[in-house]
Amino acid sequence: MQRNPGLDDSAFLKAARGEAVPHTPVWFMRQAGRSLPEYLKVREGIGMLESCMNADLITEITLQPVRRYGVDAAIFFSDIVLPLKAVGVDLEIKPGVGPVVAEPVRTLEDVQRIPDLTPEHVPYITQAVGNLVAELGATPLIGFAGAPFTVASYLVEGGPSKEHAKTKAMMFGAPEVWEALMRKIAGIATAYLEVQVAAGASAVQLFDSWAGALTPADYTEHVMPHSTRVLEAAGTLGVPRIHFGVGTSNLLTLMGEAGADVVGVDWRTPLADGIARVGDRGVQGNLDPTLVFAPTDVMLARAGEIIEAGRAAKGHIFNLGHGVIPTTDPDQLKRLTEFVQAYPLA
């Protein structure tokens, strides 16, 4: 895969590596889709997972926010459960609900029935990444995967959960099944990231959306070793690694130690506190996603405060503290992008 020489000057990649940047780089989690009218139009009548398995649709949807906002990085359009679907797990994404698994994992035999992922399972991913890298030129593409705990939670619960009671019951009560499941998912996530980077992705992000449900001790014992396996393997690919979770203020130090170059900080944690907790690493974040619904001057004032706080970090990538809310006004995100990129760092 021939690398675009302009990527070396990318503000996003420079910040991720802890180098001096021409401006604070900005992109938005869930920027690909969600609130864009052009996304809703192209997705009309097409299911989420079906969209994620169509190289042309992946390419178009990933490019839409880059065209509209001029953000400093593209995020690959997919879903964290896509690799499970690709290897044959019977699941669907129900509108308004989320991923629903037909036969939740309960036993060691259930785990053993899940195949390992190979590039042959996801040819459309390789094709889409190749298409995107050619289109994006000097704009980096971020590949991503779901972290083992979050993906395991969907498999064990059978769908989204607030309490994660069945997941924790397995973690505490059937440790041999839990260990096998986490190793299985870590292997799938590693292979999925390898496919994306081999095709040209310039960075990767590991999403552990539900890790905030854990205590530091439980995270350290039951979860961190598996996230570490994924992040360490990604480290051998030569691209920056971002690690993000929601409600993980008490886990930020550990999430960095798991192998991240950049730790995502959600909006609940002041960025200055997050910087202090992650050590000698970059940070990403962390404007409250609801602030885009506030008056523009209020939104931009808060964004300025976050950029100022980010000066203390080894590197700072501006983002929301979680994903774009579907009812967001795209024009507000455009204003926010332009403000961040124009904000003086000298």
**Distance between CA atoms of 104 and 89, rounded to whole angstroms?**
10
Question: Strand, coil or helix: what is 234?
Answer: helix
Question: Strand, coil or helix: what is 283?
Answer: strand
Q: Cα dihedral sign for 212, 222, 118, 134? A: positive
Q: Which two tokens stand for residue 87?
A: 């290897």
Task: Reply yes or no on whether 34 is catalytic.
Answer: yes
Question: Strand, coil or helix: what is 202?
Answer: coil
Burial of 2 (0-12, 13-18, 19+ CB in 10 A): exposed
Task: Reply yes or no on whether 288 is catalytic.
Answer: no
Task: Reply yes or no on whether 281 is catalytic.
Answer: no
Task: Reply yes or no on whether 39 is catalytic.
Answer: no
Pairing of strands 141-146, 98-101: unpaired
- Choice among 17, 43, 106, 268 that is catalytic: 43
CB atoms within 10 A of CB 91: 21
CB atoms within 10 A of CB 262: 28
One-letter identity of residue 80: I
Comparing CA positions, the residue from 88, 115, 76 lying closest to residue 196 is: 76
- Choice among 30, 229, 241, 277 that is catalytic: 30
- Choice among 69, 124, 154, 219 that is catalytic: 154
**Distance between CA atoms of 18 and 84, rounded to whole angstroms?**
34
**Distance between CA atoms of 198 and 130, rounded to whole angstroms?**
9
Q: Where are the beta strands (DSSP E) in the chain?
A: 74-75, 91-94, 98-101, 141-146, 203-208, 241-245, 262-264, 282-284, 316-317
**Distance between CA atoms of 332 and 340, rounded to whole angstroms?**
12
**Distance between CA atoms of 65 and 319, rounded to whole angstroms?**
14
Task: Reply yes or no on whether 311 is catalytic.
Answer: no
Q: What are phi and psi of 266, to 5 degrees?
A: -75, 175
- Choice among 8, 9, 17, 34 that is catalytic: 34
Alpha helices in 236-329 (DSSP H): 252-257, 271-278, 296-310
- List the catalytic residues: 30, 34, 43, 79, 154
